[in-house]
Structure 1
Amino acid sequence: MKIHGINSCDTCRKARRWLGEQGIEATWVDLRADGVVRADLERWLDAVGAEALVNRRSTTWRELPENERPAMEPEAVLPVLEAHPTLIKRPVFERAGEVRVGFTPAVRDWLTA
């Protein structure tokens, strides 16, 4: 399993701590330090859609000028997420070809299934 996020994100830290407590091993990928691979973004957009993947509550979103905020079509979102990986809702979990975003009870249930 991989978990993609940002080291300074409280939710990511909470998720990583919880994974450790559950004995679930995961490879950490820091979106800010490591960047994001276009193929990953395409896969995530296909799996969960732009509405779920773009964090419109983020500081990065609020700081983007209105004319740079993408429409929620994958073609429009993809280059913006590549340029601003902190716009990605976090954490992003990948396991066995499946993708989940966030750290909700439903995601925790999926992680332990």
Structure 2
Amino acid sequence: MTTTIYGIKNCDTIKKALKWLDANGVEYTFHDYRVDGLDAALLDSLVAVSDVEQMLNKRSTSYRDLNDEQKADTSEGALKALFIETPTLIKRPLLVSGDKTLLGFKDAQYQEFFA
């Protein structure tokens, strides 16, 4: 089963998640939105396995920079357009393993996810 973790390498939560994966011997591929990019096809595949509204990181600096109209429109099309334009709006990390996904990082959740 292939495990891929999506995010940006300088994110503290990503660093914690990668450290956990390494410490627990989980083989994974890291996809950095800034280095590896985020196109419509990849985003569509991520949205197919995760809830697009839950993917929105409302605590990010990028979210605070949005205008009220952008924040109000949580339709799938509007969010996907924002994610393509500003991938840092996607909650990190997004972990995809087989047909399972997990947003964010908490030690207990990762233990359960990989049990």
Name the TM tier (shorter chain): 0.7 to 0.9
**Distance in structure 1 (CA, Å) of the matches to 2:74 and 2:51:** 8
**Distance in structure 1 (CA, Å) of the matches to 2:93 and 2:99:** 16
Following TM superposition, where does structure 1 have runs of at least 4 consecutive aligned residues deviating by more than 6 angstroms?
A: none
1:29 matched to 2:31? The reply is: yes
- Corresponding letter in the other structure for 1:88: I
- Where 2:79 maps in the other structure, the secondary structure is helix
**Distance in structure 2 (CA, Å) of the matches to 1:70 and 1:85:** 18
**Matches of residues 63-102 of structure 1 in structure 2 within 5 Å?**
63-69=65-71, 71-102=73-104
Which stretches in structure 2 are left out of the alignment for 5+ residues? none
Q: For 1:36-77, what per-residue CA distance to the aligned partner results, in whole angstroms no more than 9, with x for missing partners?
A: 132232233233212210001100010122233362221111
- Where 1:69 maps in the other structure, the secondary structure is helix
Is the alpha carbon distance of 1:44 and 1:17 closer, same or farther for their aligned partners in structure 2, counting shifts above 3 Å?
A: same
1:106 matched to 2:106? The reply is: no
- Corresponding letter in the other structure for 2:84: E
Which stretches in structure 1 are left out of the alignment for 5+ residues? none
Give the Å deviation of 1:13. 0.2
- Where 1:8 maps in the other structure, the secondary structure is coil
- TM-score where L is the length of structure 2: 0.86
**Matches of residues 46-61 of structure 1 in structure 2 within 5 Å?**
46-61=48-63
The match for 1:12 among 11, 14, 34 is 14
How many residue pairs get aligned? The number is 112
**Distance in structure 2 (CA, Å) of the matches to 1:42 and 1:102:** 19
RMSD of Structure 2 on Structure 1 (CA): 1.6
- TM-score where L is the length of structure 1: 0.88
Would the aligned equivalents of 2:53 and 2:76 in 1 still touch at CA under 8 Å?
A: no
